[in-house]
Amino acid sequence: MTAVPEWMRPPRPEGWYADDLDQLREAPRHTELIDGALVFMMSPQRVWHARMVTALVNSLTDQAPPGVEVDREITIRLDRWNRPEPDLLAATAPYDPSRTFYTPEETLLVVEVVSLESAHRDRTVKLRKYAEAGIPHYWRVEDEGGSPVVHAYELDGPTRSYVATGIHRHELHTTTPFELKLDLDALVPGRMS
């Protein structure tokens, strides 16, 4: 068995804190913090996932109103022990080139594009954590035979849980968190509609 590198050892008995992520220079690029534990994305991503994230970032950026920024792979500091990294998000915070995370109060929408490696976290853990943090909208994008299917959720404020608002195939048209119309089939480059 190989020794664990020193930087992987938690700095305190209760684990890692959200602010510790900015100090972990040796950590892999896509490192999240879930319940005080580091989570590394070490599996190779499929081209479908990468292109879907890029297409969604471009589409949301093109349609976002003034004052809404769309970013990919930036963490959200949910609380002291949780700093997940969604595939993309829309936030009301102004552009800041040195930003390393957003807060739930700044975040309007979180989108996770499901991969084999992240499926459990995206469908259960993150769904619950984003809702408990008060993020108003969550989309989970699944690959259904090469076509994207968006499972959309909206926060029920009093219960701090998400309610499903729809399962979208082929097209998504919504007015929340902002006016948005997506031709889902067109998001996959090279795919014939």
Residues 31, 161: Cα–Cα separation, whole Å: 25
Average pLDDT over residues 134-138: 98
Average pLDDT of the chain to the nearest whole number: 91
> How many C-beta neighbours within 10 Å does residue 67 have?
10
Q: What is the pLDDT at residue 112?
A: 96
pLDDT beyond 50 at 189: yes
Q: What is the pLDDT at residue 5?
A: 78
pLDDT per position as a tens digit, 147-167: 999 999 999 999 999 999 999
- Cα–Cα nearest to 102, from 124, 125, 131, 70: 70
pLDDT beyond 70 at 1: no
Q: Which of 36-40, 41-45, 141-145 has the lowest mean pLDDT?
A: 41-45
Q: In this structure, are residues 151 and 172 in contact, taking their beta carbons and an 8 Å threshold? A: no
Q: What is the pLDDT at residue 26?
A: 82
pTM of the model: 0.89
Q: What is the pLDDT at residue 56?
A: 97
pLDDT beyond 60 at 191: no
Query: For the chain, which domains are there?
Result: 6-40 (no CATH), 47-187 (3.90.1570.10)
In this prediction, residue 9 has a pLDDT band, given cuts at 50, 70 and 90, of confident
pLDDT beyond 50 at 61: yes
Share of the chain above pLDDT 90, in %: 67
Q: What is the pLDDT at residue 43?
A: 64
Q: What is the DSSP string of the chain?
A: -PPPPGGGS-SSTT---GGGGGG-TTS-SSEEEETTEEEE--SPPPHHHHHHHHHHHHHHHHHPPTT-EEEES-EE--BTTBB---SEEEE-SPP-TT--EE-GGGEEEEEEE--TTTHHIIIIIHHHHHHHHT-SEEEEEEEETTEEEEEEEEEETTTTEEEEEEEEESEEEE-SSS-EEEEGGGGSTT---
Q: Any idea which residue has 């989309």 for tokens?
A: 139
Q: In this structure, are residues 89 and 70 in contact, taking their beta carbons and an 8 Å threshold? A: yes
In this prediction, residue 129 has a pLDDT band, given cuts at 50, 70 and 90, of very high
Q: Which residue has the higher pLDDT, 173 or 118?
A: 173
Q: In this structure, are residues 115 and 143 in contact, taking their beta carbons and an 8 Å threshold? A: no
Q: What are phi and psi of 58, to 5 degrees?
A: -65, -45
How close are the terminal C-alpha atoms of the chain, in Å? 50
In this prediction, residue 25 has a pLDDT band, given cuts at 50, 70 and 90, of confident
In single-letter form, the type of residue at position 93 comes to: A
